[in-house]
Structure formats: structure tokens, C-alpha cells
Amino acid sequence: MTGSPADKTWDRRLQRANELAAAYPFAAEGLRFYERIAGFQKSLYAALAPGNGKAQTARPPGSLRDELDLFFLLPRFSTFLAFVESIAPSPLAQSAAALSGEGGLRWEAVLDEFWRSGAQGMLTEPEALLSWTFLQPYAEYLARHTEPPEIQGTPAVCPLCACRPQVGVLRPLGDGAKRSLICSLCATEWDYRRLVCPACGEESVDKLPIYVAEELPHVRVEACDTCHCYIKTIDLTKDGLAIPVVDELAAIPLSLWAAEHEYTKVSTNLLGI
Ligand SMILES: [Zn+2]
Ligand SMILES: [Zn+2]
């Protein structure tokens, strides 16, 4: 039996992480951690597939975050916390253990808060990181079964779930490239103008510095001197095999450069960079 396109999405992420870990020793530890987390995310996604008890109805646009199936999610969150406790670096492992010990009512409140706010909200940083990592495949599943929204202009947040972008992408278009953004929660990709800050809307080219490190010529920092935010953008015209959400995890030299220059990332990733 062959897998669905969604299965291949997860397999491609896992394979890319494995390849990058071998190619970039400085990023190997983080990518190996990502591989294990993504393996869990893949199985959670698969549990949502038709035939596994989750109805595959098309949802109207804009309704994605109305649906938080705690009956499905809570037992799996318990498993997830135990898993993170066993494989994560110690500060995150301790946070997972602490949250695990707080029990179901607290888990419900934490997941609900993250889902409603789409960000840290009232949660601690580790609670938000654990919630995001756990809910991301759930949101991605819902997004794939939601009618595509009509997009007005170039929104700086996801047109499906209103979360901030995780990473930018440059895709070949004619002789040049067009930019899009990928949602940090539901992984929806939407078109975005090339020379606009996705955090504050700044459009002056001289306020929008770009930095590329020689180790990873296909990844760039797109920063903004007005709001001091930045996003990493993966240039698929330079490496067509890149998987944006994975390649940005490998781009540690860019994160160091951005931190030195006091830019804050629009959405931090699993590795906190
Ligand atoms: Zn989204
Ligand atoms: Zn800005």
C-alpha cells in the first residue's frame, strides 16, 4: 500500500533532517532531536487520518481554530510529555516532567490557551513550546481539510489560522523568485510580497537588511531595522531540495548573526532559535 501525499510530507521532513545532520555537524544535535519529535508528530497526524476515528469533513475557511478535540488530544498529550521527558535536553525535559505531573485539568487549560491565543498567551515559555510542538500536526491536518480561504491583499498572518509565519520561501518564478510564508502552526503557505517586513509592514529597502552565511548559501536572514524582527527565508532557486521548516533549523550561524545584531525572530522554532 502506498502512503498518501501527507505521509510523504512527514517522510520528506524526516529524510531532509537526516541528510542535513550528516552535512552540517554544527546542526546535527538539534536536527537529531527534531527527527525524533517529527516522528511523534507524524504518528499523531496519521492517527487523525480517515478510518482512525477522525471525520474528514471539509471545514469552511476561518473555522480552523474553532475545533479542539480534547477527547482525541489529551491522552496523546500525556504520551507526548513522557516522550519529551525521555529524549529532550534537560531544561525542556524537566518542563515536560513538571507539566506531566500536573495532570489532565492543567493539560486541558494549557492546550486550550495555546489554541485560542495562537501564541504563548498566559503560558510559560516551555508550556507554549510543548503545546505548539504537540498541536502543530493536528493544526496541519485540519488545514489540509479546510476549504482554502479567499486571500485579500498580502496578510502578515496565516489566512487560515491567524498565526505568525515560521519561515519564508523563495520559489522560482520566471527569471526571478516569488516569496511566500509558511504558517508556524498549520503549515499553510501563502504568497507574500518580497520586500515587506512580515512583522511590521516596513517597505523601505534600506530598512530591510539581508544576511547570508557562507555555510548555507540557500538560507537568508530577512531583517527589519524598524521593528528589529527577522525571519529566515529558504531560497529554493538555490537549493530545490530544501524543506523550509527543516532547513531553517540547520541555519544556526544565521541565528547567531541575528542575535548579535539584536534582531528577534518572528516565530522561534523547536530549538529555540
Ligand atoms: Zn496557519
Ligand atoms: Zn518590521
The per-residue pLDDT for range 89-145, each reduced to its tens digit, is 999 999 999 999 999 999 999 999 999 988 888 999 999 999 999 999 999 999 998
Report which bound ligand comes closest to the CA of 158.
1
Cβ–Cβ under 8 Å, residues 195 and 188: no
- Computed from CA positions of residues 4, 7, 12, 18, in that sequence, does the dihedral angle turn out positive or negative? negative
- Phi, psi values for residue 240, rounded to 5°: -70, -10
Q: From ligand 2's centre to the CA of 34, what distance in Å?
A: 29
Q: From ligand 1's centre to the CA of 224, what distance in Å?
A: 23
Please state the length of the chain: 273
Q: How confident is the model at residue 57 (pLDDT cuts 50, 70, 90)?
A: low
Cβ–Cβ under 8 Å, residues 231 and 244: no
- Phi, psi values for residue 251, rounded to 5°: -85, 55
> Is the pLDDT at 42 greater than 70, yes or no?
yes
Q: How confident is the model at residue 21 (pLDDT cuts 50, 70, 90)?
A: very high
**Model pLDDT, residue 181:** 97
Mean pLDDT of the chain: 92
Q: From ligand 1's centre to the CA of 146, what distance in Å?
A: 11
59 DSSP 8-state letter:
B
Give the whole-angstrom CA distance, residue 182 versus residue 245.
Answer: 8
**Model pLDDT, residue 1:** 40
Q: How confident is the model at residue 67 (pLDDT cuts 50, 70, 90)?
A: confident
Residue 24 Cα distances to 33, 70, 89, angstroms: 14, 39, 20
List, as ranges, residues with CB under 5 A of the ion ligand 2: 197, 199-200, 202, 224, 226-227
Report which bound ligand comes closest to the CA of 62.
1
Say what percent of the chain tops pLDDT 90.
Answer: 81
Give the whole-angstrom CA distance, residue 146 versus residue 57.
Answer: 8
Q: From ligand 1's centre to the CA of 7, what distance in Å?
A: 19
> Could you read off the pLDDT of 228-238 as tens digits, one per residue?
999 999 999 99
> Could you read off the pLDDT of 170-222 as tens digits, one per residue?
999 998 999 999 999 999 999 999 999 999 999 999 999 999 999 899 999 99
**Model pLDDT, residue 55:** 54
Say what percent of the chain tops pLDDT 70.
Answer: 94
Cβ–Cβ under 8 Å, residues 74 and 106: no
**Model pLDDT, residue 223:** 98
Report which bound ligand comes closest to the CA of 188.
1
Residue 167, SS3 per DSSP: strand
**Model pLDDT, residue 146:** 86
Cβ–Cβ under 8 Å, residues 65 and 40: no
Give the whole-angstrom CA distance, residue 143 versus residue 64.
Answer: 7
Cβ–Cβ under 8 Å, residues 167 and 232: yes
Residue 29, SS3 per DSSP: helix
User: pTM (2 decimals)?
Assistant: 0.94
> Is the pLDDT at 2 greater than 50, yes or no?
no
Q: From ligand 2's centre to the CA of 119, what distance in Å?
A: 19
**Model pLDDT, residue 29:** 96
